Amino acid sequence: MTKMTEKEKAAQGLLYNAYYDKELIDERAYCKALCYEYNQLHPAKIKEKTSLIRELFGKIEDPFLIEPPFICDYGYNIEIGSNFYANHNCIILDGAKVVFGDNVMIAPNCSFYTAGHPLDSERRNEGLEYAYPIKIGSNVWIGGNVVLLPGVTIGDDAVIGAGSVVTKDIPSGVVAVGNPCRVIREVNDKDKNF
């Protein structure tokens, strides 16, 4: 039986060593270099910016726009649907898959963290972490300064209020806010008039 690589462990949601594994270190370094290049481009260099994101991400549907600065860990674990928009200072720590549906709008300063660490300090100090996928449905609006933690799913047509910390799944068709983020109401017909 072959020993699993740290990358294979991460893909299966097992504890893995991201700190000292050469393959993962090299992949993050490559990704960081592309992010750096992306973030230094003049705003008018649309073609170059688009090309760099295509090189980074695992799957892309057109159109999309990601305002710099943008930071991710690996890039290849990120998938975006059509009509995707991320405002300034989007951070995606993609040790696991981060999948966005169609028509997703992300306000400034939002963070998507697939990675977490053991609570036990001895294991944590060994460089161990885990990564659980994040899934965002279609027609979702995520307000400014929102943080999504490992393993959460946001349903279609949901709105996540500014400043929220999403620790658990949010169903479709609701407005959810707070720390921890919780559903406050359904999106309804009155919202069409606002």
Backbone CA torsion sign across 142, 109, 95, 49: positive
Active-site residue set? 117
Note whether 102 and 83 are within 8 A (CB): yes
List the one residue out of 126, 128, 127, 18 whose CA is nearest residue 73: 18
DSSP-derived secondary structure for 116-127: E--SSHHHHHTT
How far apart, in whole angstroms, are the C-alpha atoms of residue 59 and residue 34? 16
Dihedral over Cα of 115, 75, 84, 13: its sign: negative
